[in-house]
Amino acid sequence: MTGLLRGLVCGAAAIAASVAQAQTYPDKPIRMVVSIAAGSVTDVIMRAAANELQPRLKQTLVIENQGGAAGILGGQACARAAGDGYTICVIYHSTMSYNPLLFTKLPYNPDTDFTPVTRLFFLTEGLFVSSALGVNSVAEFKARAQSGAALNYATLGEGSFPDLFLKWMNNQWNTQIVGVPYRGGGPAAQALAANDVQVTRFGVGNFTGLLSGGKVKALAIGLPQRSPLMPDVPTLDEAGLPGFPGLGWWGLAAPRGTPPAIVERLNGEFVKLFNEPKFKAFLDQQAVVSAPTTTAGFAVFLKEDRKAAETLIRIANTKPAEYKPEQ
């Protein structure tokens, strides 16, 4: 048998084995690594998705929260997992686009350690302040910050998307607002309500209850147009803070080596769910925009998002730092 023929036979056997494995998949519970703290909007959404998918897959999806360090902990857990379809990873802009530009010595390689499955949704993000601060607009907040008042801002850690927005805003205004890291939007929202921090930018869904209770105030929405959930809140452009190039998103990946047939099965199940009217209505209430893709479409999107991240990091004048694991 020639080398070429042997290669063709081996390739065909591998494809056949992958298809056969996909036909019986899954035959045990699936671990879903969520790169943010329990109680955050993404965690709530993925728990709801897991409940919907359990009867369709005929297996339990077990949520494992790996919050903190701008998604690095979740990325590391995913990269270390076996590529057998029994670990899937909920990733986001920091995991894939920003961390490789902001950190050296990452414990994972976003370009080689993961197999893209699908983008899931975009975040409707807002700029929020503690009601105790007593400001009612971006202009008033800018004046307070430029007066030299001591202000703290909740982030997801050095290099996270909220942290980059803070650095960009400080750069735009020549201010010194201080970043304070939290493990997720839920904890950050509670810190804002308690006035432990005075300002932050996160997904709107983290703040809906606090807004109705008067604990926090929305100053602006980080979208090109106003949100139907908060029609009276201006966009950042309308509020006088234009030019921020980033947009938050979440998606699904699998560890390197996951069989293509299993990746396609997962893509099909998640895309179908995130396109269903009832689930999309649920997502609307969480203040996110459903945006599932094909696996190939997600791969193309990731390359484009990395370019946008490069633009933002250049504007924010942020230099790469060595990643040091939390002690």
Q: Find the helix packing angle between 41-57 and 185-193, rounded to 10°.
A: 150
Per-residue pLDDT tens over the stretch 29-52: 999 999 999 999 999 999 999 999
E strand or H helix at 219, and its extent?
A: strand 216-221
Which residue(s) pair with 218 in the sheet?
128
In this predicted structure, what is the pLDDT of residue 21? 65
CA 287 – CA 221 distance, rounded (Å): 11
Percent of the chain with pLDDT over 70: 93
In this predicted structure, what is the pLDDT of residue 134? 97
pLDDT at 6 over 90: no
Beta sheet of 249-255, edge-to-edge order: 61-65, 30-34, 87-92, 249-255, 114-123, 288-290
Per-residue pLDDT tens over the stretch 68-85: 888 999 999 999 999 999
Per-residue pLDDT tens over the stretch 150-159: 999 999 988 7
Residue matched to tokens 């006088």: 240
Q: Dihedral (C-alpha) 144, 145, 149, 151: value to the nearest 10 degrees? A: 120
Q: Tell me if residue 149 falls in helix, strand or coil.
A: coil
- Residue 220: exposure state from Cβ atoms within 10 A (0-12, 13-18, ≥19): buried
Per-residue pLDDT tens over the stretch 300-326: 999 999 999 998 888 777 889 999 887
Sign of the CA dihedral running 303, 307, 313, 319: positive
Residue 283 identity (one-letter amino acid) = L
Among 157-166, 167-176, 287-296, which is the least confidently predicted range?
157-166
Distant-in-sequence, close-in-space partners of 3: CB < 8 Å, separation ≥ 6: none
Q: What are phi and psi of 136, to 5 degrees?
A: -125, 5
Q: Which fold has domain 12-123+247-322?
A: D-Maltodextrin-Binding Protein; domain 2 (3.40.190)
Q: What is the mean pLDDT of residues 138-156?
A: 97
In this predicted structure, what is the pLDDT of residue 12? 45
In this predicted structure, what is the pLDDT of residue 314? 86
Domain coordinates in residue numbering, the chain: 12-123+247-322, 125-239
CATH superfamily of 125-239: Periplasmic binding protein-like II (3.40.190.10)
Whether 125-239 and 12-123+247-322 are alike in CATH topology: the answer is yes
